[in-house]
Amino acid sequence: MLAAKHRLGLVFFPAFDWAISPSHPEREERLLYTQDQIFEEGIMDIENIKSYNPLLASKKDVQRVHFCVPDVDERVTKSHLISAGGAIKAAHVVMEKEVDKAFALIRPPGHHAQRVVYGDRGFCIINIEAIMLENIRAKYGPMRTAIVDTDCHHGDGTQDIYWNDKNTLFISFHQDGRTLYPGTGFLDEFGGPGAIGYNINIPLPPGTGEEGFLYVLDNLVMPILDEYKPDLVINSAGQDNHYTDPLTNMNFTARGYAELNHRLNPDIAVLEGGYSIEGALPYVNLGIILAMAGLDYSHIQEPDFDEEKLKQSPKITEYIKRLCENIHNRWKQKEQIAQEVLKGRDYIIRERQVYYDTDGIMEYQTQRFKICKRCSGVNTIESISDRGMPIFAVTIPLDACSSCIDEGYSTYKKADVQKYFKVYLQDRPSDTFLTKSI
Amino acid sequence: MITLGHTLSGKLNFPRRVFTSYYNSAIYRTFKEFCESIHQALQRQNIKAPVYILKADGGTMSLRAGEKYPVNTILSGPAASVMGGQAFLETFQDAVFLDIGGTTTDIAFLADGVPLFEPLGIKIAGFPTLVRALYTVSIGVGGDSKIAVENQSLVIGPERLDRPMALGGKYPTPTDAMIVLGLMDIGDKGKAVSAMEEIGQFLNLSAQDAAKKVLDKMADIIKDKVDELLDDINSHPVYTVKELLYGKKIKPRFIQAIGGPAKALAPVLENRFGIPCIYPKIYQAANAVGAALARTTAEITMFVDTAQKTLSVPELGVYEEVSSTYGLEEARMRALDLIKEQSRLLGAKDDEIKAEIVEASCFNMVRGFYTSGKNIRIRAQTKPGLIYHLWSDKNVSS
């Protein structure tokens, strides 16, 4: 019988009874054909491939990452807790060394969910990778981690969550924000004051194909990862760079995704977007499974695959080459850039508007990061949505020094409950979460 | 003999379909010869009764139908035992079923009183197949297992070397222990005592205590395996939020044991499992009872695609056109008709066909941003059951 070279854990949870709405791309049937493909290929009979059911993520798991307005119970459904719990299960079996790698094929996705959650954006409410990562950091201790997001949309939620954390390097490949939702993910989004340079965006032009993706991986991502030396590599495996995806304009292939996964060699992959449920998902998911298991994926080919049609234009190839040089140079100069940005400042203010496209909510946010020499610095978010509900949130980061911890608590105490709908304190070192309101 | 894989099962799994088809063709000639011999033998005896053959799913089919799908008759023995147990049992509870033999013990489970199936099919000689089968797991421990003492601890099985010493064998066995404790009255008790003395010697125990220890150990082995299997079964993959949150978990409320040592072991098992252990009055012959009373079974898989306007049932070679408004309810009705037809073809009598839908799902297919049709999938079966029950010969509690 066929045996996988790497022991692979699969959390396959298609949630056949959950949808945003009956004809929404994020609907019951999304992983049906992927399931057919996995079953028909006999994947679950392969030696060293083991399947697991999701856990149910807890409220505490969510609160390590998010400020849900008004609270977790109100914003987050059981389906979301299962999706996050699926990612957590995948990470646990890797951490416990039951398997070498794990792939969580779960839905709904999460990479557009930011720290504050007023509603659903980009089909995401809670950030499943972040919830997974913070769960295992709480359980197994600190971990230097790289998250490589290969979804076609910018992983703006994950960027926001790890904006100021240099122990989490976030790299996002995506279609240029000038041409696609969520409209962010440019080079100058380079990380908060405690982590300048550790947020890397790679906005690719529409029409990028196999050649371009693998070029970026080999010439930019891998050299940066070699330098960063993460303990753990997580792949946010969105599959909408595929040439059949209805929402995007890229030319990537199933075999290309498998090749990318093979070269990136992540410990954990978590499914994100990808809405070509018949034309792409069965083949891309199969490719990733085979690549992670160390099995031959060279024969994976979509029925309508046409090499000539998917060939990348020389203009795009040239553009990507220059883009990679540019980004790599910025990475090499991150210390100088940080010095210039931080010079003579005690804190950095970041004003933003966040649009929740799925729910049609606009949020107005001010993030304030303390610049601290001993840690990544206590920080706060003041926010209000166009439906009201102003909040104030304090985060004491995991690596906080004692004075930042004290400052976090005093800022929380001083916050005026009359002024806000709710005030939050996320104390990561002691893994506690407090709220107050009138 | 050419076997068309899709006629054996409509379940998706290419490698299993290949192995199943291979086995079906491989045993075809042997099976055909066997059938002919049976027919000739019956003819010679002037027996005109219809002939059925047992399948691994606890059901039967006519010998004629068997000639086409002989692969389904492989490993039907353990299934017969489970069906035999059912003949004496009227329950809607979860239970463990044990067929304790001389060499092995077969373990099966009842969920709400119904025997559990293998999710896809049994493994034959290491290769997974699509042969529908009751879930049974065999472990190498039984009445005639070899007993050894290694590093001051007792090891039972997995091999059987000989008959029990009380019956003239050369090595001590659990059956000898049962005889020593007065739980079984066969053979030469003196020889059984010396068997247990031999074991006791290594453990500094009397023959009586050694015998008790042997049976306790046997119950331990069975209990450990049952727990392991239950963990496995209760974490089987689920694909809906509802199942994950509220899905059925099997929690056995009692044990039903059959086979030679069943009666003797019942009190020991009861003690070790902490739940009642019952056994039928004719516990030694339950397997044969199961084989004799099993009903004809069948299974089909139906796929409907209303965008393409097709309905197909691979097992029956049915490919029909349907309207674009064809719905789940119509599909269910059609599936029930077809499963009845299939059961008749396999030799079932009309009054014994209990057809049911096992799985039914209906997904909207969306192309672009519009619903283009429905994707309906149905699995229907005539479930394993018995022609009649022997409830007047019900189980005995230990």
Q: Based on the domain organization, do B317 and B346 belong to the same domain?
A: yes
Q: Rounded CA gap, B377 and B371, in Å?
A: 17
Domain spans of chain A, in order of start: 3-334, 346-436
pLDDT of the residue at A334: 97
Residues of B in contact with A281 (CB under 8 A): none
What confidence category does residue A237 fall into, taking pLDDT thresholds of 50, 70 and 90? very high
Q: What does the block give as tokens for A372?
A: 């601290």
Average pLDDT over residues B301-324: 95
Residue type, B173: T
pLDDT of the residue at B352: 82
pLDDT of the residue at B152: 86
Instruction: Say if residue B1's pLDDT is above 90.
Output: no
Angle between helices A314-332 and A334-342 (to 10 degrees): 60
Average pLDDT over residues B158-178: 95
On average, the pLDDT of chain A sits at: 96
Q: Do A42 and B16 touch (CB under 8 A)?
A: yes
pLDDT digits (tens, 9 = 90+) for A82-103: 999 999 999 999 999 999 999 9
Element spanning A148, H or E: strand A145-149
Read off the CATH number of the domain in which B44 is found: 3.30.420.40
Q: Based on the domain organization, do B95 and B223 belong to the same domain?
A: yes
Q: Based on the domain organization, do B288 and B307 belong to the same domain?
A: no
B383 touches chain A (CB under 8 A): no
Q: What are phi and psi of A374, to 5 degrees?
A: -95, -20
Q: Which residue in B19, B234, B241 has the most chain A C-beta atoms within 10 A of its own C-beta, making it the best mutation to test that interface?
A: B241
**Radius of gyration for the alpha carbons in chain B, expressed in angstroms and rounded:** 24
Q: Based on the domain organization, do B315 and B290 belong to the same domain?
A: no
Instruction: Say if residue B311's pLDDT is above 90.
Output: yes
- Does the domain at A3-334 match CATH 3.40.800.20? Answer given as yes
Q: Based on the domain organization, do B284 and B325 belong to the same domain?
A: no
Nearest to B244 among A35, A51, A82 (CB): A82
Q: Which of A5-14, A309-318, B105-114, B280-289 has the lowest mean pLDDT?
A: B280-289
Burial of A430 (0-12, 13-18, 19+ CB in 10 A): exposed
Instruction: Say if residue B397's pLDDT is above 80.
Output: no
Report if residue B85 sits inside a domain: yes
Closest approach of A43 to chain B, Cα-based (Å):
9
Nearest to B128 among A15, A45, A56 (CB): A45
Would you say how long chain A is, in residues?
Answer: 438
pLDDT digits (tens, 9 = 90+) for B118-130: 989 999 999 999 9
Report if residue B192 sits inside a domain: no
Burial B215-246 (b: 16+ CB within 10 A, else e): bebbbebbbebbeebbeeeeeeebbbbeebee
Q: Which residue in A1, A33, A92 has the most chain B C-beta atoms within 10 A of its own C-beta, making it the best mutation to test that interface?
A: A1
pLDDT of the residue at B73: 93
Nearest to A15 among B235, B241, B368 (CB): B241
What confidence category does residue B365 fall into, taking pLDDT thresholds of 50, 70 and 90? confident
Q: Based on the domain organization, do B17 and B133 belong to the same domain?
A: yes
Report if residue B206 sits inside a domain: no
pLDDT digits (tens, 9 = 90+) for A369-406: 999 999 999 999 999 999 999 999 999 999 999 999 99
The percent of residues in chain B predicted with pLDDT above 90, rounded, is 84
Sequence-separated (6 or more) residues with CB below 8 Å from residue A1: A45, A46, A47, B126, B127, B128
Structural domain that includes position B360: 298-382
pLDDT digits (tens, 9 = 90+) for A199-235: 999 999 999 999 999 999 999 999 999 999 999 999 9
HSE-up of A43 (CA within 13 Å, CB side)? 30
Region for residue A418 given its phi and psi (left: phi exceeds 0; alpha: psi -120 to 50; beta: otherwise): alpha
Instruction: Please tell me whether residue A12 adopts helix, strand or coil conformation.
Output: strand
| ipTM associated with this complex | 0.90
Q: What does the block give as tokens for A223?
A: 């050299």
Q: Do A29 and B366 touch (CB under 8 A)?
A: yes
Q: Which 277-316 residues of chain A touch chain B by CB within 8 A?
A: none
Among A80, A112, A153, A174, the one annotated catalytic? A112
pLDDT digits (tens, 9 = 90+) for A317-367: 999 999 999 999 999 999 999 999 999 999 999 999 999 998 999 999 999
Instruction: Say if residue B390's pLDDT is above 80.
Output: no
Q: Based on the domain organization, do B315 and B229 belong to the same domain?
A: no
Q: Based on the domain organization, do B92 and B224 belong to the same domain?
A: yes
Q: Which of A241-245, A291-295, B352-356 has the lowest mean pLDDT?
A: B352-356
Q: Based on the domain organization, do B356 and B393 belong to the same domain?
A: no
Q: Rounded CA gap, A197 and A166, in Å?
A: 8
Q: How many domains does chain B have?
A: 2
Closest approach of A25 to chain B, Cα-based (Å):
8
Region for residue A138 given its phi and psi (left: phi exceeds 0; alpha: psi -120 to 50; beta: otherwise): alpha
B372 touches chain A (CB under 8 A): no
Q: Which residue has the tokens 């798991």?
A: A61
Report if residue B203 sits inside a domain: no
Q: With contact defined as beta carbons under 8 Å apart, do A198 and A165 qualify?
A: yes
